[in-house]
Chain A
Amino acid sequence: MSETVTSEIVGQLQRWQARVEVTLKPVVLDPQGDAVLHGLHQLGFDAVSRVRVGKYLELTLAAASQNDAETLVRQMCDRLLANPVIESYTFSVEPGNPPTA
């Protein structure tokens, strides 16, 4: 198991918003994307030549720093959110809203 950043409260934890995009690797065929492409062509959007369908996830998490938050999100992607056999991912982390009481 990979090294895990513990989320125990040491000092001040901040709230972060992560946005994760999971997409099929280029070598993986995407029949769903092809079906969407076909639909767009039927509507007359001939300008479109390729569609790939992926997943978008929003996460709210607590971490001591942006670096810690990014490390956590990367671990989540590697272990659950993406399947490395067929998918790749990108993500961004930004300071989130303070918790509402």
Chain B
Amino acid sequence: MKFGVVVFPGTWSDKDCLHVLGPVLGQEAVPIWHQDTDLQGCDCIVLPGGFSYGDYLRAGAIARFAPVMGAIKGFADRGGLVLGICNGFQILLEAGMLPGALLRNQSLEFRCVWTHLRVENTDTPFTRLCRPGQVLRIPISHGEGNYFGDDETLDRLEATNSVLVRYCDAQGNPTPDANPNGSRRNIAGVINEGRNVAAMMPHPERCAEAILGGEDGRLIFGSMIASLAERQPAASH
């Protein structure tokens, strides 16, 4: 499968994503510059973490107007798989491709720590290798990851099974203490109702090799690879 990893000025996790998708998982992985509008025939697009455009105005607010975003919107509208990680999550929210917003962490601190995540929906291209309710261990690294939506938005997310992962303790309980940033209802990641655009604040690309202290990130990328392999015969590009 061919993965495109989008690079904005200020992106910092692009190399990590390319490393995991390429050498670690054996996929073709190419960088895509923010000014490009050609997605190079990629089967999946990853918007990685960082500080695109210095987070000026609001995180992701400027990046969403980059030329590449029009192409990604079209790709997603045609059913293409898009995963946003951290700053990529912020960009997808600003672009209106996922509901809600990300606020400053409640602690006002930049948090760079391991978190536990409970998988809320395994019937998605991003989590299909996980067991229902499985607890993953994936690190976060952000200052603005405090997920916010009004009650109506959150109720709709829950009613449509669109919460992907929730911060929890090691046993899988979504407690206030396990919530590292104040996210409403401990939401750490969401997916759209079309089930092809997903995003999460934690960084699966930082825990896909045992030497880095964990490999749970492989479940996310592995799920995407498995889903794409299934789709491939039907794909028409």
Contacts and interface: CB of A to CB of B under 8 A. Distances in A.
Given A28-B148, A32-B108, A85 B61 contact: no
B94 interface: yes
Given A29-B103, A80-B65, 4 more contacts: A27-B150, A31-B104, A80-B57, A81-B57
A80 B57 CA distance: 9
A70 B149 CA distance: 29
Contacts of A32: 104, 108
B160 interface: no
Contact of B94 (A27, A31, A83): A83
Interface residues of B, number: 20
Contacts of A80: 57, 61, 65
Contact of B101 (A29, A31, A81, A83): A83
Nearest to A79: B65
Given A31-B105, A31-B182, A35-B108, A83 B61 contact: yes
B41 to A, nearest CB: 28
A85 B149 contact: yes
A83 B148 CA distance: 12
A22 B108 CA distance: 20
Given A28-B148, A31-B108, A86 B57 contact: no
A50 B79 CA distance: 46
A35 to B, nearest CB: 6
Interface residues of A, number: 11
Interface string B97-134: 00111011111100000000000000000000000000
B58 A83 contact: yes
Nearest to A25: B150
18 contacts: A27-B150, A29-B103, A29-B182, A31-B103, A31-B104, A31-B107, A31-B182, A32-B104, A32-B108, A35-B108, A80-B57, A80-B65, A81-B57, A83-B58, A83-B94, A83-B101, A85-B100, A86-B148
A86 B101 CA distance: 7
Contacts of A31: 103-108, 146, 182
A85 B104 contact: no
Interface centre among A27, A28, A81, A86 (most CB of B within 10 A): A86
A35 B108 CA distance: 8
A85 B148 CA distance: 9
A-B interface, 5 closest residue pairs, ranked by CB to CB distance from nearest: A85-B101, A86-B101, A31-B106, A31-B108, A35-B108
